[in-house]
């Protein structure tokens, strides 16, 4: 029995609509509908296909994953070989390329080049026949590649059928498959969680993901594509320029690089290259250079090919960010918080544009996971301004006398015990401010520009001050005299006087800077300012208790209560009890918090699970359990209190951080959440709300008073409606702001 015509039409219409939304999303980067609507369309199509399986076609958007795992990949012969590119490693080499092009073409006129980033992924050939994707193949040796059709079909940005019209009967699109950095990081996090080995870089991850015999694995990997050329074309002429071809490909539904540009003559090419080099780290995908291609296809044909590369294109490469070298030794550096960082002493190597002889190994977990040993040949990476790091070792090149890296039991600087709590990656020196290394770093941090901004107190000076026992903590700085300072190396009367003046000047500061300068673990500049703004005074911050900051929800309270009551009755103090096993959500801070509220377990148990539920008294965005504990314990410690008191009596002071404390605050006590598209930036409204005393939170909860919902508001609006939170539109917000 044949299926009703109206059903067939409905199925086809749904497929067209889904294909179109894919195009808006992946190619134009301008989605037209929210994800929920897209999901609805896909589900409607799935339902119909389930009802009428005879209507399923291989190019239906529901059929991306489905094929069974293969035993091996079939071989594909490339009818037009997939070439590689010549490289230029300097501006001069790029100029030489241009000169050769113009000599061959016998012209003095400047050439128009199409420029696009050189993506660091792997080349792919995608064959469309009558607009349908029939084959995906890797480059292989350029003449023969592997048939990875099953896998490329799972990549959401690759259309299973072309959209629009006018495409040739046979169109082979070539491009690069790659994994965006964000997706790569998420994938590696997942790998670690599953106890599997993380990938060394996005390129390896992309290659490993595409060459999977089971397409379901590929489907889970965040791969995507930028097209950069055409291979075989049958039956319909394309454009007479490369850029024109790219525009056509894009119209037919394939993504191309949004960075594609045209450069007339070499000066424009150099500018393009420099701009791209400057933006390299900000892009969400790895690139290793810029490809310049003669844009005019007629000229390309006249130039032709040499060996394995076209004469009309060149890759201007960035300096390599990864190189091989040998680990000669590993030492441990002690940071401000006592963290011991293993640092590899390397055989000097030129990488990322500079000579590198030290590189961080991050922490012992990393060293152990990557099994890095002294004597190993390793990959060193220096990307942008980031400190050089050892990425991994090449065990196959390991000499027989390679030695493992051993975490010292005692701090290499002060000899205090080194502590590495089980399961934690970071080992710390337990010496605190007794440890000269920590003292130096703490004082450098205190004096730094974003903290107390003490001009003229450089690293070298701090080191001398600590080594000569002139300062043991930041407060001692303010007791230094001109005479003491003048006696130091490379300090004259004049600079000593200047430094004393700078110290004096630094006393006038802000609460945010002061908090940041104290160097509380986990409190960066932004969090310090948030705390200052939200609490308004040092006293208010010092008075914070864990129970003000931490929230125990009803569901958590139930499981915690159950575990605690099974664990112990009687008068055992809750504090310092070993945490009951099997508490999944458990965090040690919750126990500390309960200890704060209930000195005796008996008291805790008397209240039942409800007694454990607490709402945080003070909501400070970004302060979770870990940070709450750091803040509260910092101010409880006597030696920290002592330093703070000394600083205050030395005359450190600041103005009230709250914007105009005397101004009326009509929205005091109300919490707003902003979502969706508003006619002004959200930060604009946020500032207006804060000025009026309101709080602005990032997510909707039952403590939210108003949700301001702009256009295309999504899940927050739904949540607000579920919780019965009042919803305002922009007009409503403006009225409340009046």
Q: What amino acid positions are annotated as catalytic residues?
A: 118
Three-state DSSP class for 341?
strand
* Residues numbered 393-412 forming contacts with ligand IVH, rule: CB under 6 A: none
- The nearest distance, CB 170 to ligand IVH, in angstroms, is 19
Three-class secondary structure assignment of 426-494:
CCEECCHHHCHHHHHHHHHHHHCCCCCCCCCCCHHHHHHHHHCCCCCCHHHHHHCCHHHHHCCCCCCHH
Identified binder of ligand IVH from the candidate list 27, 76, 291, 727, rule CB under 6 A: 291
Contact between 370 and ligand IVH by CB under 6 A: the answer reads no
Residues 175 to 194 in contact with ligand IVH, rule: CB under 6 A? 176
* CB nearer ligand IVH, residue 315 or residue 673: 315
Binding-residue total with ligand IVH (CB under 6 A): 15
Backbone angles phi, psi at 485, to 5 degrees: -70, -40
Cα separation, 34 vs 406, in Å, equals 53
Contact 424, 446 (CB under 8 A): no
First-last CA distance in the chain: 67
Q: Decide if residue 295 touches ligand IVH (CB under 6 A).
A: no
If one asks whether residue 85 binds ligand IVH (CB under 6 A), the answer comes out as yes
- The count of C-alpha atoms lying within 13 angstroms of the C-alpha of 254, restricted to the half-sphere facing its C-beta, is 31
Site membership for ligand IVH, residue 246 (CB under 6 A): no
Going by the DSSP 8-state scheme, the letter that residue 49 receives in this structure is H
Q: Is 696 helix (H, G, I), strand (E, B) or coil?
A: strand
β-bridge pairing 309-310 and 305-306? antiparallel
- Give the shortest CB-247-to-ligand IVH separation in angstroms: 15
In the complex with ligand IVH, the residue whose CB is nearer, 119 or 471, is 119
For 432, phi then psi, to 5°, come to: 55, -140
In the complex, the smallest distance separating the C-beta of residue 257 from ligand IVH, rounded to whole angstroms, is 7
* CB of 116 or CB of 548, closer to ligand IVH: 116
Nearest distance from residue 118's CB to ligand IVH, in Å? 4
Judged by beta carbon, residue 96 or residue 424, the one nearer ligand IVH is 96
Strand pairing category for 170-178 and 122-129:
antiparallel
* Part of the chain binding ligand IVH (CB under 6 A), chosen from 37-45, 83-91, 369-377, 443-451: 83-91
- Which letter, b or e, does each residue of 424-444 get, where b requires 16 or more Cβ atoms within 10 Å of its Cβ? eebbbbebbbebbbbbbbbbb
292 contributes a contact to ligand IVH by CB under 6 A = no
CB 719 within 8 A of CB 727: no
- What separation in angstroms does the CA of 33 have from each of 23, 255, 692? 12, 19, 35
Nearest in space to 613 (alpha carbons), one of 555, 562, 563 = 555
Which range binds ligand IVH by CB under 6 A, 38-46, 94-102, 112-120, 150-158? 112-120
Could you say whether residue 361 binds ligand IVH (CB under 6 A)? no
Residue whose CB is less far from ligand IVH, 116 or 172: 116
x/- site string to ligand IVH, residues 1 to 30, per CB under 6 A?
------------------------------
Region near ligand IVH per CB under 6 A, out of 184-192, 309-317, 358-366, 719-727: 309-317
Toward ligand IVH, which CB reaches closer, 119 or 546? 119
Token readout for 506 is: 């630094």
Phi then psi for 486, rounded to 5 degrees?
Answer: -65, -20
Select from 46, 57, 84, 357 the one that contacts ligand IVH (CB under 6 A).
Answer: 84
Using CA atoms, how far apart are residues 51 and 380, in angstroms rounded to an integer?
56
Closest to ligand IVH by CB, 304 or 348: 304
Q: Which of 159, 183, 231, 310 binds ligand IVH (CB under 6 A)?
A: 310
- Binding to ligand IVH (CB under 6 A): which residues in 623-682? none
For ligand IVH, give the closer residue by CB, 119 or 155.
Answer: 119
Q: DSSP E strands: which ranges in 285-398?
A: 287-294, 305-306, 309-310, 313-317, 322-334, 340-351, 354-360, 373-374, 377-381, 389-393
CB of 173 to ligand IVH, least distance (A): 12
Q: Give the integer Cα–Cα distance in Å for 50 and 211.
A: 31
- Closest residue by Cα to residue 344 from 365, 362, 358: 358
112-119 and 261-264 beta bridge pairing: antiparallel
DSSP one-letter string for 580-641: PTT-TT--HHHHHHHHHH-SSHHHHHHTHHHHH-B--SS--TT--HHHHHHHHHHHH-HHHH
Site for ligand IVH in 62-81 (CB under 6 A): none
Query: Could you say whether residue 119 binds ligand IVH (CB under 6 A)?
Result: yes
Tell me, residue by residue from 471 to 510, as one string, x for binding to ligand IVH by CB under 6 A and - for no binding. Answer: ----------------------------------------
- If the CB atoms of residues 239 and 703 are measured against ligand IVH, the closer one turns out to be 239
Closer CB to ligand IVH, residue 178 or residue 478?
178
- How far apart are CB 145 and ligand IVH at their closest, in Å? 11
Least separation in angstroms between CB 131 and ligand IVH: 24
- Helices 638-649 and 511-518 pack at an angle, to 10 degrees, of 140
Residue 595 lies near ligand IVH (rule: CB under 6 A): no
Site for ligand IVH contains 152 (CB under 6 A): no
Paired strand residues for 374: 403
Q: Which is nearer to ligand IVH, 178 or 634 (CB)?
A: 178
Q: Which residue is nearest to ligand IVH (CB)?
A: 123
How many angstroms from the chain centroid is the CA of residue 519?
Answer: 24
Stretch that binds ligand IVH, among 72-80, 117-125, 412-420, 648-656 (CB under 6 A): 117-125
- For the bound state, the minimum distance from the C-beta of residue 307 to ligand IVH, rounded and expressed in Å, comes to 12
Binding flag, residue 116, ligand IVH (CB under 6 A): yes
CB of 354 to ligand IVH, least distance (A): 25
Of 546, 502, 539, 544, nearest to 645 by C-alpha is: 539
Beta strands in 215-258 (DSSP E): 224-234
129/259 with CB nearer ligand IVH: 259
Q: In 3-state terms, what secondary structure has residue 410?
A: strand
Among 297, 313, 471, 643, binds ligand IVH (CB under 6 A): 313
Is 172 near ligand IVH (CB under 6 A)? no
Of 48-56, 82-90, 165-173, 342-350, which part binds ligand IVH (CB under 6 A)? 82-90
In whole angstroms, the minimum distance from the beta carbon of 174 to ligand IVH comes to: 7
With CA atoms as reference, report the closest residue to 145 among 79, 75, 72. Answer: 75
Q: Are 309 and 100 in contact (CB under 8 A)?
A: no
Q: Which stretch binds ligand IVH (CB under 6 A): 94-102, 111-119, 557-565, 660-668?
A: 111-119
**Contact in structure between 444 and 471 (CB atoms under 8 Å):** no
At which residue do the structure tokens 């103090």 appear?
573
Binding site for ligand IVH (CB under 6 A): 83-85, 116, 118-119, 123, 139, 176, 228-229, 291, 310, 313, 315
């Amino acid at each position: 029995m044949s299926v009703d015509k109206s059903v067939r039409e409905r199925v086809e219409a749904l497929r067209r609509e889904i294909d179109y939304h894919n195009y808006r999303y992946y190619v134009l980067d301008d989605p037209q509908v929210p994800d929920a609507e897209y999901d609805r369309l896909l589900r409607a199509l799935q339902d119909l296909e389930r009802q009428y399986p005879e209507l399923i076609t291989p190019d239906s958007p529901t059929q991306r994953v489905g094929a069974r795992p293969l035993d091996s990949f079939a071989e594909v012969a490339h009818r037009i070989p997939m070439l590689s590119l010549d490289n230029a490693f300097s501006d001069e080499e790029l100029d030489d390329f241009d000169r050769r092009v113009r000599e061959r073409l016998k012209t003095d006129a400047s050439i128009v080049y199409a420029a696009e980033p050189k993506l660091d992924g792997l080349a792919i050939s995608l064959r469309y026949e009558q607009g349908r994707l029939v084959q995906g193949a890797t480059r292989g040796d350029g003449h023969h590649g592997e048939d990875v059709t099953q896998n490329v079909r799972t990549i959401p940005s690759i259309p299973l059928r072309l959209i629009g019209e006018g495409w040739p009967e046979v169109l082979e699109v070539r491009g690069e498959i790659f994994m965006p950095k964000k997706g790569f990081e998420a994938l590696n996090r997942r790998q670690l969680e599953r106890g599997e080995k993380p990938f060394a870089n996005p390129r390896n991850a992309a290659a490993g993901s595409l060459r999977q015999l089971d397409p379901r694995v590929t489907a889970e990997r965040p791969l995507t594509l930028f097209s950069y050329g055409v291979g075989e074309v049958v039956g319909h002429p394309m454009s007479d320029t490369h850029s024109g071809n790219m525009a056509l490909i894009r119209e037919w539904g394939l993504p191309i690089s949004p960075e594609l540009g045209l450069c007339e003559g070499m000066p424009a090419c150099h500018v393009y290259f420099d701009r791209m080099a400057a933006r390299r780290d900000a892009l969400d995908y790895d690139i290793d250079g810029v490809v310049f291609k003669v844009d005019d296809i007629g000229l390309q044909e006249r130039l032709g090919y040499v060996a394995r590369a076209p004469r009309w294109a060149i890759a201007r490469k960035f300096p390599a960010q990864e190189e091989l070298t040998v680990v000669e030794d590993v030492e441990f550096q002690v940071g401000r918080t006592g963290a011991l960082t293993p640092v590899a002493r390397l055989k000097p190597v030129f990488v990322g544009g500079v000579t590198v002889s030290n590189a961080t190994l991050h922490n012992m977990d990393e060293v152990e996971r990557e099994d890095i040993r002294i004597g190993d040949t390793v990959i060193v990476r220096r990307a942008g301004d980031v400190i050089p790091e050892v990425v991994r070792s090449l065990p196959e090149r390991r000499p027989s006398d390679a030695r493992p890296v051993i975490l010292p039991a005692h701090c290499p600087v002060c000899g205090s015990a080194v502590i590495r709590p089980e399961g934690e990656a970071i080992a710390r020196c337990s010496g605190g401010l007794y440890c000269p290394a920590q003292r130096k770093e703490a004082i450098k941090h205190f004096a730094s520009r974003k903290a107390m901004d003490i001009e003229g107190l450089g690293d070298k000076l701090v080191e001398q001050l600590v080594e000569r026992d002139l300062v043991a903590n930041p407060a001692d700085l303010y007791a230094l005299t001109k005479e003491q300072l003048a006696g130091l190396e490379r300090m004259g009367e004049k600079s000593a006087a200047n430094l004393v003046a700078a110290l004096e000047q630094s006393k006038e500061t802000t609460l945010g800077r002061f908090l940041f300068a104290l160097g509380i673990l986990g409190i960066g500049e932004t969090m310090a300012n948030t705390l200052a703004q939200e609490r308004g005074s040092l006293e208010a911050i010092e008075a914070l208790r864990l129970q003000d900051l931490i929230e125990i929800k009803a569901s958590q309270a139930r499981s915690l209560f159950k575990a605690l009551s099974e664990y112990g009755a009687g008068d055992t103090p809750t504090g310092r009890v070993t945490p009951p096993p099997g508490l999944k959500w458990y965090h040690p801070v919750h126990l500390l918090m309960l200890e704060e509220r209930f000195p005796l377990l008996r008291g805790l148990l008397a209240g039942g699970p409800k007694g454990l539920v607490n709402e945080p008294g003070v909501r400070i965005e970004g302060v979770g359990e870990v940070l709450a504990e750091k803040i509260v314990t910092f101010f409880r410690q006597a030696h920290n209190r002592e330093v703070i008191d000394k600083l205050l009596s030395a005359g450190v002071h600041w103005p009230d951080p709250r914007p105009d404390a005397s101004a009326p605050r009509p929205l005091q006590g109300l919490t707003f959440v902003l979502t969706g598209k508003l006619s002004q930036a959200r930060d604009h409204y946020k500032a207006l709300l804060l000025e009026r005393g309101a709080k602005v939170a990032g997510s909707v909860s039952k403590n939210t008073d108003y949700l301001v919902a702009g256009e295309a508001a999504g899940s927050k609006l739904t949540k607000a409606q579920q919780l019965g939170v009042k919803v305002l539109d922009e007009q409503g917000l403006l009225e409340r702001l009046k």
